[in-house]
Amino acid sequence: MAKKDSTPPADESQSTAQDQAPAADDKPTDAADATDAVDAPDSADADDPKTSTPAKAPKKTSKPRRKPKVAAKAEAAPAAKDKADKPSVAPGPSGAPPDGHWWWGTGRRKRAVARVRIRPGDGKFVINKRPYDSYFTEERDRNDLMNVLNKTNTAGSLDVHVNLHGGGYMGQAGAIVLGLARALRKYDESLEPILRSNGLLSRDPRKVERKKYGQPGARRRFQFSKR
C-alpha cells in the first residue's frame, strides 16, 4: 500500500499566515483612533455658548502712583517760605502780661493754705472777697502782709486776690506772706534777691506737736506719786 503524504499543501499554510497578520496590524490603528476621539472637542459643544466656558482674564492690580521726589520738594518749598516770612513774636517784658493774665503763688503755714494771684492794678488787696484790713483785726498780721509789698516797692501797683482756708489768723497771715512772695518772684524774677534776703521765700515748718496718749500734752507728763 502506498503511504499518504502528511505535509499540508503550501497554499493552505500561506493562507493561514495571511489571515493572522492583519489581526496584529489592526490593534495600533484602533488605539490611535481612540486617542483622536478623546482629544478632539465636540463641534456641537464648542459652538454652544451655554456649555462653553470662556477663559477668565487675569485681574490687574493697580498700584498707587508715587509722586516724584522733585514734585514733593517743590510742594514743601512754599510752606517753608511761608514760615520764614512770618515774624517771630518776641516775649513781652516782665510785668506786661496779656489781658486777663494772673501770676499765682501758693503758701502754707501750720494748717492754713493760701492761694494768691496778682496782676498789675490799682492796689486792691482782697482776702476771701473781703478787704485785708477788715479780715485781719490784729495790726501785727496786717503789717506782715504789707511788709512784702513795701520791700519790693510794689505797693499800690498790684491787685492781690487771696483764697484762704484752714488754720488760725496767725497761720493764715504767714501762708499769705509766703504765697505773695512766690507770686512776686514769678511776676518779676529780679525781685528774688530782695525776697530771699528778707526770708520771705522760706517756708516756716513749725507746727503744734500732737498730744500723746498717756500724758496730758505733747511733752507734759502727769505728776508721779511714789506713795
Confidence of residue 53 (pLDDT cuts 50, 70, 90): low
Residue 71 covered by a domain:
no
Please report, for the domain that includes residue 171, its CATH number: 3.30.230.10
Q: What percent of the chain has pLDDT over 70?
A: 56
pLDDT tens-digit readout, 173-195: 999 999 999 999 999 999 999 99
Separation between Cα atoms, residue 8 and residue 10, nearest integer Å = 6
Residue 118 covered by a domain:
yes
Residue 66 pLDDT: 62
What value does the mean pLDDT take over residues 19-25? 46
3-state helix, strand and coil shares in percent for the chain, rounded to the nearest 5: 45, 15, 45
Angle, CA 159 vertex, CA 155 and CA 165 arms, to 5°: 105
Residue 124 pLDDT: 92
To the question of pTM greater than 0.75 for the whole model, the response is no
Type and span of the H or E element at 119: strand 112-120
Residue 227 pLDDT: 84
Q: Is the pLDDT of residue 75 over 90?
A: no
Provide the grid cell at 141. Answer: 498780721
What value does the mean pLDDT take over residues 213-219? 96
Residue 57 pLDDT: 56
Number of domains in the chain: 1
Mean pLDDT taken over the chain = 74
Residue 125 covered by a domain:
yes
Q: Is the pLDDT of residue 21 over 60?
A: no
Cβ count near 151 (within 10 Å): 17
Residue 148 covered by a domain:
yes
By DSSP bridging, strand 158-165 and strand 125-127 are: parallel
pLDDT tens-digit readout, 135-145: 999 999 999 99
Nearest-Å Rg of the Cα atoms of the chain is 57
Residue 123 covered by a domain:
yes
According to DSSP, residue 112 is labeled E
Residue 161 covered by a domain:
yes
Residue 17 covered by a domain:
no
DSSP collapsed to 3 states, 189-223: HHHHHHHHHCCCCCCCCCCCCCCCCCCCCCCCCCC
User: The domain containing residue 133 runs over which residues?
Assistant: 114-197
With contact defined as beta carbons under 8 Å apart, do 141 and 152 qualify? no
What value does the mean pLDDT take over residues 48-64? 55
Confidence of residue 87 (pLDDT cuts 50, 70, 90): very low
Closest to 125 (Cα-Cα) out of 99, 143, 100? 143
Residue 97 pLDDT: 54
Residue 23 covered by a domain:
no
Q: Is the pLDDT of residue 93 over 60?
A: no
Residue 1 pLDDT: 45
User: Which whole-number Å values give the CA distances from 143 to 151, 177, 199, in the listed order?
Assistant: 12, 10, 16
